[in-house]
Amino acid sequence: MRRYSGAGARQQQQTEAVADRVHRYRRVLMVLLSPVLLISFVLLLMPRAPASASGGVLLAVGGRRWGPRAVEDGLNKYAVIFDAGSSGSRVHVYCFDENLDLVPIGKEIELFKQATAGLRALGTQRSEEILQAVTINYLLGKLGKPYSNTVGVVDLGGGSVQMAYAISEKDAAKAPLVADGEDSYVKELLLKGTTYYLYVHSYLHYGLLAARGEILKAGEGSDYSDCMLEGHLGKYNYGGNTFEASGSPSGASYSKCRALAVRALKVDEPACTHMKCTFGGVWNGGGGDGQKNLFVASFFFDRAAEAGFVDPKAAVAKVKPSDFEETARRVCKLNLKDAHATYPDVSEENIPYLCIDLVYQYTLLVDGFGVDPYQDITLVKKVPYGDSYVEAAWPLGSAIEIASSS
């Protein structure tokens, strides 16, 4: 056995101490180093041009960005977006020309790589609803034009619903103050050389799955729910709460369910007496030209496709809010067995809730966001861009933002 004394012993102890620390903090080091390793791997996959050319690469990792940095690829810029989630990590790479138009990388608009390791997000989280609105307007060729030419975006998730659209500088100046710690109503962004004032708000508890609970809660006091299909017996669990969700022997009632949905949205919240609001006392941004063309996504598209008034294979579809109402009226008259037979594309777990979902979607658009029942809106799954269809997701929005500001 080798023994150390004096300086040798101290050196050995220091070496062991460092090794112990590395072992102890190995998971933290993996969190920090994995994005760098993944990005380095993706950068190796990028095409290379003659050494005399110059361009830029912009890296964004969990909201923190590095760049621009020179790469040999003419006037093109690459944006590398690292999405470090708890369940998995993804790297998105986009290439832009000098006009900030997307350039294919090989045959694809987006180079995408997934790693199986789940990592904590690094840096400040970007607002996904803002970036999704940026993405859709970019793919439609609206950025760089006056705000009145842009489109608004409503994204209906499971737990929350987001509204985002560009407003005038005059309306932006009227935005109400918010409490400390809350996000402001308006974000100022420079995109393709044009300054935009983007109204954005995320309504917690009003995503489709969360709203079921809010509507069922609004009808509490009975053994049955007027929003549930006849023949369904059970309860609805969401967010740690349980709600009565059995259908009445007389079946669901469209009119009664709609009244419950309006009550759940708190459309007549007292805080709206001094300003224009959507629902729950939330400022509506002033409306205007930026909201006249609406693109609605996520569960709006899914339920419309399942209910049969939108082609499930389509990337986009033109509908009216009244389409949700008409379908809801038909669905709410059915019992559970007939609904299964009539709407085979709706999953087993969702079929009892098809009436409440469609009623809510119509009520949200018309009573919540003030959309005319017969106004054309666009359901979007993917946005056509050139010869490709691109998913309207936040990583592209982030890439556009950092490329525009570089």
Q: What is the pLDDT of residues 38-49, one digit of tens each?
A: 555 555 555 554
Q: Is the confidence at residue 28, as pLDDT, over 60? A: no
Round to whole Å and give the CA distance between 247 and 227: 7
Q: Identify the DSSP state of 62.
A: T
Amino acid at 79: A
Residues 132 and 298: their CA atoms lie apart, in Å, by 12
Q: Please, what are the domains in the chain?
A: 26-124 (no CATH), 126-406 (3.30.420.150)
Are the C-beta atoms of 205 and 211 separated by less than 8 Å?
yes
Which of these, 290, 283, 294, lies nearest to 203 by C-alpha position?
Answer: 283
Which band of pLDDT confidence, cut at 50, 70 and 90, is reported for residue 3?
very low
Q: pLDDT category, 73, cuts 50, 70, 90? A: low
Backbone φ and ψ for 205, nearest 5 degrees, come out as 75, 5
Instruction: Flag whether pLDDT at 204 surpasses 60.
Output: yes
Handedness of CA 354, 358, 360, 364 (dihedral sign): positive
Do residues 246 and 224 make contact, with C-beta atoms less than 8 angstroms apart?
yes
Is 334:356 a contact under the CB 8 Å cutoff? no
Mean pLDDT across the chain, nearest whole number?
81
Tell me what pLDDT residue 350 has. Answer: 96
How does pLDDT run across 359-403, given as a tens digit for each residue? 999 999 999 999 999 999 999 989 888 888 887 767 777 778 777
What does the pLDDT read at residue 7?
53
- State how far the alpha carbon of 266 is from the alpha carbons of 94, 111, 308, 353, in Å: 42, 44, 30, 21
Q: How far apart are CA 194 and CA 182, in angstroms?
A: 27
**Which of 156-160, 290-294, 332-336 has maximum average pLDDT?**
332-336
Query: What is the Cα–Cα distance from 37 to 119, expressed in whole angstroms?
Result: 13
> Can you tell me which residue has the tokens 């369904």?
232
> Which position has the higher pLDDT, 270 or 10?
270
Tokens of 397: 């929005």
What single-letter amino acid sits at 381?
K
